[in-house]
Amino acid sequence: MKKLILFLLVTSSLFSYSLPPISVGIIGTAVNGWEVDVDMITTDGINFTLVNYALQNGKLKFRENDDWAVNWGSTDFPSGSGIQNGDNIPITAGKYDISFNKETGAYAFIVKPECICPAVYMPVCVNGVIYGNSCEAQCAGHTEWSEGSCTTIKLHGSSLEAAVKLNRGGIGMLYDPDLYSTTISVDTGEFYFEVTDWDAVSHYAASDFPNGTAKLDYDTKIPVKEGTFIVTYNSKTNVYYFTPDYYVSIGGIDLKQVDKNGNYEARNITFESDTALQGYENYYGNDVLWTKYGNGFPSGELTDETITLVAVYIPKGTYDIFYSTKTKKYSFEEPSLSTTDFDISAFTVWPNPVNSGIINISEELSNVQLFDIHGRLLLSKKQTRQLNVTGLDAGTYFLTSGNKTIKISIQ
């Protein structure tokens, strides 16, 4: 019985005993001398590596478990196959990615280039860390990355078919890594920003337009009006801007954007004296304003050069000014019905926008009139629940009945 117990104890000890882990390191004058090893890294006990490791002019060998019982050497450099008790490997100073296979003795010293990266900001993301470009990520020892920053910002809106991603860097000549921007042409609607920081998604909004500071999970959405805007968002401050895509000024008067079709206007403007018909039409983000010249009055085009030797003037008087960034044409007209005189309507129409044909009205209306954005009367009905807009050009119109009005878009 005692012999059986002893046998079981010995057997149990043998099976519970595990060999110490095997290490492989480099040693020699190319490292820290012949006394201390620099252990290499392994995940399988067979392949060992060191990344971006600096070596001196000199010699080295690979050895196991910090002992000379098992060691590998050769005369080949920068790659070769080490053998037991082989020659010291000759090393040229530099930074290397070093690899060694314990089973085959194969080794390689791959030159690690000096990390002198171009001064170009094309951000990449590695595990939540932003690098200026892929070269910087590679120099940090990474082999995989995703293009773009780790933060993405999208704009959602009730008049957008899908969310719009903002581009990092801002607008214009100066690059700002905290600024994100995009260009949108939209109808009136409610908007908010979706901010994804690595893997966390948050929503930001506010009640201010055209600019403000967005707040996390704010109940009210941004009330965006119809227009074409350069949208910017600062990822640090959460400050946003919806800026009209063009700055338009004629005769020293800044015009306001009317719709997303490039129409600008200024209403009821008085010129106390004859004024040179010059102006600016500048895309947002351009750093230089170039003077443009009118080629006629009361209508014409803004051009880069004077057409005649005689300057064109705006006569003293009061005007409504209209301009199109698409056609470059302007007009000065007598002050007429202003869209700002309208009250918000309680009735609705459909379809809106409409391509052509019949527009339906939600209730029977009297004294129905249809105006264009210049305040010109186009259609009139004494009493109706429908309006035929066939033949009208694409654009923005205003349907009125008494002191009620609603905006209609024809496409």
Taking only the tens place, the pLDDT of each residue in 230-245 is 999 998 899 999 999 8
pLDDT, residue 345, reads 45
DSSP letter for each residue of 222-286 = EEEPSEEEEEEEETTT-EEEEEESEEEEETTEEPEE-STTSEEEEEEEEESS-EE-EEEEEETT-
pLDDT, residue 144, reads 81
Which residue from 302, 282, 283, 304 is spatially nearest to 294, judged by alpha carbons? 302
- Asked if 87 contacts 61 with a C-beta cutoff of 8 angstroms, the reply is no
Give the span between the Cα atoms of 113 and 205, in whole angstroms: 47
User: pLDDT tens digits, residue range 171-222?
Assistant: 665 667 788 999 999 999 999 999 988 778 999 999 999 999 999 999 899 9
Low-confidence stretches of the chain (pLDDT beneath 70):
1-20, 112-113, 170-175, 285-289, 305-310, 336-346, 373-375
pLDDT, residue 395, reads 80
- Asked if 303 contacts 291 with a C-beta cutoff of 8 angstroms, the reply is no
181 phi, psi to nearest 5 deg: -150, 160
Which residue from 347, 351, 363 is spatially nearest to 408, judged by alpha carbons? 351
- Collect all residues with Cβ–Cβ distance below 8 Å to 286 and sequence separation of at least 6: 172
DSSP letter for each residue of 360-396 = EEEEEEEEEEEEETT--EEEEEEEEEEEE-TTPPSEE
Structure tokens, 142:
């990474």
Amino acid, single-letter form, for residue 381 = K
